[in-house]
Chain A
Amino acid sequence: MSTEKKPKNVFVQGPITPEKIATSIAHHQVKTNIGGHDIFLGQVRADEINGKTVKAIDYEAYEEMANKKFHEIREAAFEKFDLTCMHIYHSLGRVNAGEICLFVFTSSAHRRECMEATRFLVEEIKANAPIFGKEVFEDETHVWKENK
């Protein structure tokens, strides 16, 4: 039985810190039925667009719908893969280039389940979560990002 199924807020203000990720890993050391973890970290890239370099992304979301969608995606993943644990965090607000904006963390008894689940989750989030991102340049002008 998992205790991870109730709806929860996946959003954190600003970047996801390496400390948060480390703490999250440490919390799983008591769960000794886990044999493998898989982690995806989305990082803000300093893309060059029309001669200007992206210094940060400002994230916003339709939060009520996004949390509902994240809940559906989590339920689908628990249904599809034999997971022990699943954690998803996404940033809102400003995340500088080089910082982490998405943290997907899955755990299972054996490697294959968590590895496949992470890929599924990341693709679902990118395609279906109503999150919007403004790529901000060094002169504070911006363009809106679009997932490919």
Chain B
Amino acid sequence: MKLNVKYFGMIAEWAGSENGQLDFSGTSVVELRSEIEKRIPGLNSSSYQIAVNRVIATDEAIITLGDEIAILPPFAGG
């Protein structure tokens, strides 16, 4: 399935874009992690979280077509 992925902060810099499309054949967040880490150099050695439909997702969470995916670097508000 084709997933629309949003990138933020330093991860958007590494990806060269704030939005991307990813052809994803897996089902869980942990599979998405390894797929995205292959595409964005530096990501596997950094701390980041994945949000699915605007909620932080666990590695076991299931991804379905149409989900809103976001790759989030460490927070810095305040």
Contacts and interface: CB of A to CB of B under 8 A. Distances in A.
Interface of A: 42, 57, 59-62, 64-66, 68, 90, 101-102, 122, 125-134, 144-147
Interface of B: 6, 8-10, 51, 54-55, 70, 72-78
B75 A122 contact: no
The 7 closest A-B pairs by CB, nearest first: A131-B77, A132-B9, A133-B76, A145-B76, A65-B54, A146-B74, A144-B10
B70 A65 contact: yes
A131 B55 CA distance: 14
Given A68-B54, A130-B8, A134-B9, A62 B72 contact: yes
Contacts of B76: 57, 59, 131-133, 144-147
A129 B6 CA distance: 16
A144 B8 CA distance: 11
A133 B77 contact: yes
A133 B77 CA distance: 7
A145 B10 CA distance: 10
Contacts of B75: 126-132, 146-147
B78 to A, nearest CB: 4
A102 B9 contact: no
16 contacts: A42-B78, A60-B8, A60-B9, A62-B51, A62-B70, A64-B54, A126-B77, A129-B75, A130-B8, A130-B51, A132-B10, A132-B72, A132-B73, A144-B76, A146-B73, A147-B76
B31 to A, nearest CB: 22
A7 B74 CA distance: 24
Nearest to B74: A146
Contacts of A61: 77
Contacts of A146: 73-76
Interface hub of A59, A126, A134, A144 (most chain B Cβ within 10 A) = A144
A122 B78 contact: yes
A87 to B, nearest CB: 15
A61 B78 CA distance: 12
Contacts of A68: 54
A62 B70 CA distance: 8
